[in-house]
């Protein structure tokens, strides 16, 4: 009786975590903070009170911080109100991806969840990169994302073409006007380079680290396709914005990022019955790396 009651309570609690909130306050505050930092940095740099190089770094880190907002919006984890959810996500996209409206970004990200670690995973472009190309691919994966969408999007390309043009044309006009009026250097240093810094960090934290070694496809074993990074949580949880619990995200993608650790502690005993891959805080390979290497015997023997 007690076990049955406990399982029922666990299900109820888990469902409450998975349910989209009226408004995810932590995520919204991050969005406001990152916007304030970016605008403040731009203003200070243009006024000459902040060195351009320092503003570049600040904007790069803020771009990385903004991705958690975009990411949760893609999973409709910011608000149960679709308009509110997508509007907050779009604010982040304007700064980081002014050429990928929310419906397109959402479709692309869902392909990653659907095909994790497979060759048709859009993140395969960076995860399977040769080492000498890796930093470049990590910093420019947005270009491949757009290629992937137009190459494999099928009917979604037609469906979202209107919103794409409505989104990207104003961005091009603003960019062109800024360059025409002599602000090309500022755009390059305060926007383009920072977005590359942000994308580099995003790819490391959201793709490379939590999916290493990237051998097992989620369709074959979802518990091996994504990892848990244990240790130094006091440092890594804020730095990685809870992506050290990335397995939880793939198992329960609608859970807001700031609740993933709660789900982990709630479901830990049950999850440990499966092939959960643990990475020690600063180690890339999981403890059960041999399980990964031997998962596809035919592939490893050729």
Predicted confidence at residue 4, as pLDDT, reads 59
Question: In the predicted model, what is the mean pLDDT of residues 201-221?
Answer: 95
Do residue 28 and residue 9 come from a single domain?
A: no
Among 198, 214, 230, give the residue marking a domain's end. 214
Contact (Cβ atoms closer than 8 angstroms) between residue 195 and residue 63:
yes
- pLDDT tens for 266-288 read 999 999 999 899 999 999 999 99
- Checking if the pLDDT of 299 tops 80, the result is no
Provide the number of structural domains found in the chain: 2
280: helix, strand or coil: strand
Do residue 193 and residue 243 come from a single domain?
A: no
Q: What percent of the chain has pLDDT over 90?
A: 91
Question: Looking at 3-12, 41-50, 108-117, which range is the least confident one?
Answer: 3-12
Do residue 231 and residue 139 come from a single domain?
A: no
Predicted confidence at residue 59, as pLDDT, reads 98
- Checking if the pLDDT of 178 tops 50, the result is yes
In a domain, 209, yes or no: yes
Do residue 2 and residue 35 come from a single domain?
A: no
Predicted confidence at residue 218, as pLDDT, reads 94
Predicted confidence at residue 6, as pLDDT, reads 82
Predicted confidence at residue 5, as pLDDT, reads 52
Which domain range does residue 113 map to?
Answer: 22-214
Query: Would you report the helix, strand and coil content of the chain in percent, each value rounded to 5?
Result: 70, 5, 25
Question: In the predicted model, what is the mean pLDDT of residues 12-22?
Answer: 94
DSSP per residue, 154-172 = THHHHHHHHHHHHHHHHHH
- Checking if the pLDDT of 216 tops 90, the result is yes
Do residue 148 and residue 238 come from a single domain?
A: no
Angle in degrees, 0-180, between the axes of helices 52-74 and 82-96, rounded to the nearest 10: 150
Which residues lie closer than 8 Å to 225 by C-beta, 6 or more apart? 116, 117, 211, 216, 217, 218, 250
Do residue 11 and residue 142 come from a single domain?
A: no
Name the average pLDDT for the chain.
94
Do residue 13 and residue 144 come from a single domain?
A: no
Question: In the predicted model, what is the mean pLDDT of residues 240-255?
Answer: 97
Do residue 229 and residue 204 come from a single domain?
A: no
Among 163, 192, 214, give the residue marking a domain's end. 214
Do residue 168 and residue 260 come from a single domain?
A: no
Neighbours of 229 (CB within 10 A): 26
The pair phi, psi for residue 263, each rounded to 5°, is: -65, -40
């Amino acid at each position: 009786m007690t076990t049955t009651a406990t399982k029922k309570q666990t299900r109820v609690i888990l469902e409450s975590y998975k349910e989209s909130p009226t408004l995810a306050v932590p995520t919204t505050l991050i969005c406001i903070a990152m916007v304030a930092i970016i605008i403040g940095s731009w203003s200070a740099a243009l006024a000459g009170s902040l060195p351009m190089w320092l503003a570049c770094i600040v904007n790069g880190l803020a771009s990385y911080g903004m991705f958690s907002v975009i990411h949760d919006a893609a999973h409709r984890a910011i608000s149960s109100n679709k308009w509110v959810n997508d509007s907050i996500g779009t604010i982040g996209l304007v700064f980081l991806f002014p050429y990928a409206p929310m419906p397109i970004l959402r479709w692309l990200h869902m392909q990653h969840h659907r095909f994790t670690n497979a060759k048709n995973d859009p993140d395969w472009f960076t995860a399977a990169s040769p080492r000498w190309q890796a930093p470049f691919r990590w910093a420019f994966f947005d270009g491949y994302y757009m290629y992937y969408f137009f190459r494999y999007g099928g009917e979604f390309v037609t469906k979202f073409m209107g919103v794409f043009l409505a989104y990207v044309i104003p961005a091009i006009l603003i960019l062109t006007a800024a360059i025409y009026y002599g602000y090309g250097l500022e755009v390059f240093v305060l926007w383009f380079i920072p977005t590359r810094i942000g994308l580099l960090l995003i790819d490391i934290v959201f793709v490379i680290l939590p999916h290493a070694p990237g051998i097992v496809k989620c369709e074959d074993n979802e518990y091996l396709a994504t990892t848990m990074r244990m240790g130094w949580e006091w440092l890594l949880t804020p730095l990685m914005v809870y992506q050290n619990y990335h397995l939880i995200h793939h198992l329960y993608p609608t859970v807001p990022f700031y609740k993933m650790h709660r789900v982990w502690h709630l479901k830990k005993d049950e999850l440990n019955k499966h092939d959960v891959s643990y990475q020690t805080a600063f180690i890339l390979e999981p403890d059960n790396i041999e399980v990964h290497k031997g998962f596809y015997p035919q592939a490893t023997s050729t």
